[in-house]
Structure 1
Amino acid sequence: MLFLTVAAVSAALIAGAAWGLWGRLPKGLEGFLVAMAGGALIVSVTLELIEPASHHVSVPALSLAVAAGALVFTGLDWLIEKRTKGSQGAGLLLAITLDGIPENLALGVALIGAGLPEVAALAGSILLSNLPEAAGGAKEMREGRMSRGRIMLLWTVTACVLAAAALIGNLALADAGDEVLALIRGFAAGAVTASLATEVFPQAYREERMGTGIAVTLGLLAAFALSTLSGG
């Protein structure tokens, strides 16, 4: 189950890059899909990360972990944007990597002692967000005259890095205490939440302004329904 879930989520980056290079999809639809994924992540972060963590650490400790995740992501994201300003696609690739490491680490942690239905919402929303984000990044790189072969190599390497993060989260932390896992979940939740505000929703709004709110709501409802069916 671990390897199947990790492979499915990471392969979305490669499929998304291929979609951006060879596929044809209206920008508005891409934005709608990104917004839906963001809405799903809101539910997943709350039910699969923050809520389980709250059973093992105090609210102040959990709040500090969430805040730390948001601060670290925001700071590094600002640094990446500053250093890659004007480089088509490169900033998005780095942002996805930075965003994806805590996301996949959280996915690996969530899989510890859990059945597949319990992590389906988190894995599914990460997969759905990876697809259109990778497509957009690959398309921008191609517009910047980068070869298709090099673009696919970059996104494949990124997918491998994120897969490794999920495996590390699951295998290296399997014997960690509940408190440690709870704080890691909180940190990852903060990082993912910050990425929604700085990367996911702004991108969706640029590409599909009028439908963003509807798409976020649909994604939220879909993730909540999925968590209800899986007993989350």
Structure 2
Amino acid sequence: MMTLIVVVVVSGALILGALWGIYGKLSNRTEGFLVALAGGALMVSAILELLEPATHDAPLSWALLLVLIGAIVFVGLDYLVKQRWGGDSGGGLLAAITLDGIPENLALGVALIGADPLSVAALSGSIFLSNLPEAAGGAKEMSKNDHSKGKILWLWVATALLLSAAAIAGHYFLDGATKESLAYIRCFAAGAVLASLAIEVFPKAYKEDNYISGIATAIGVILAFYLNSLGK
């Protein structure tokens, strides 16, 4: 039951964000603030919920190498996406969220194996905070390009379903995997998340909200660190 709730909450953020971006009002500064806050939260969770626990179950050198590989893979795929759709297009952001979200949600499913609700709250909450404004911004940009609102919404719904499937697969199909294998998946996902923060999240936040994004990032770090402390 906890797995289903977490998956619905996290992936539902994409649909809620898309609805907000298509039909609601979202100023650039509000979007930038929310993206920066989400980035700060996700950065803490990537380290404390994915990377740090993984180092206890796998050799440190291999764990860190998988972080680097995850970052390299994300950057390479993100580059190809931007060559295809353009860096500022909503379609490019949609593809980037998908590339980042698959290993991220796979790791979320893995994290749910044998975990208590509070320890998972930090990671799932941070992914929710990240997905909501990113989906809103992406849908908003896509609607500016005269795309059908219904088509845009269905694209985001399909993305949410894909990422939900990744989380469910991570939880059920990897339940019997060794701790070392799960650790490597977490490290790969952490690398992809950190790379996405560097080239997608924080630059966008600064562009939209300038220096206030620095404060928003700190707030996100505080929130995620507090959530993480509840599970200790």
Q: Which residue of 1 aligns with 2:189?
A: 188
Cα separation, 2, equivalents of 1:152 and 1:92: 14
Cα separation, 2, equivalents of 1:195 and 1:2: 25
Cα deviation, residue 31, structure 1: 0.7
* Structure 1 residues not aligned, in runs of 5+: none
Cα separation, 1, equivalents of 2:23 and 2:169: 33
Secondary structure of 1:156 counterpart: helix
Cα separation, 1, equivalents of 2:229 and 2:86: 42
Q: Which residue of 1 aligns with 2:219?
A: 218
* Structure 2 residues not aligned, in runs of 5+: none
Q: Which residue of 1 aligns with 2:205?
A: 204
Cα separation, 2, equivalents of 1:146 and 1:2: 34
Cα deviation, residue 82, structure 1: 0.7
Counterpart check, 1:14 vs 2:15 = yes
Cα RMSD between the aligned structures?
Answer: 1.0
Cα separation, 1, equivalents of 2:27 and 2:145: 20
Q: Which residue of 2 aligns with 1:51?
A: 52
Q: Which residue of 1 aligns with 2:73?
A: 72
Cα separation, 2, equivalents of 1:42 and 1:21: 28
- What TM-score do you get using the length of structure 2 for normalisation? 0.97
Counterpart check, 1:149 vs 2:150 = yes
Q: Which residue of 2 aligns with 1:138?
A: 139
Cα separation, 1, equivalents of 2:27 and 2:89: 19
Cα separation, 1, equivalents of 2:225 and 2:14: 24
- What TM-score do you get using the length of structure 1 for normalisation? 0.97
Decide whether the 8 Å contact of 2:112 with 2:120 is kept in 1.
Answer: yes
User: How far does the alpha carbon of each residue in 1:5-47 deviate from its partner, in whole angstroms, 9 at most, with x for none?
Assistant: 0011001101100000111122111111110111011110111
| Alignment-mate amino acid for residue 80 of structure 2 | L
User: How far does the alpha carbon of each residue in 1:201-232 deviate from its partner, in whole angstroms, 9 at most, with x for none?
Assistant: 1111111011111111111011111111221x
| Alignment-mate amino acid for residue 26 of structure 2 | L
Cα deviation, residue 57, structure 1: 1.0
Cα deviation, residue 87, structure 1: 7.6
User: How far does the alpha carbon of each residue in 1:59-118 deviate from its partner, in whole angstroms, 9 at most, with x for none?
Assistant: 101111101100000000001111112783110110111111111011101101001111
Cα separation, 2, equivalents of 1:162 and 1:66: 20
| Alignment-mate amino acid for residue 219 of structure 1 | G
Cα separation, 2, equivalents of 1:96 and 1:133: 8
Distance 1:148 1:65, change over 3 A: same
Aligned residues: 231
Secondary structure of 1:24 counterpart: coil
| Alignment-mate amino acid for residue 159 of structure 2 | T
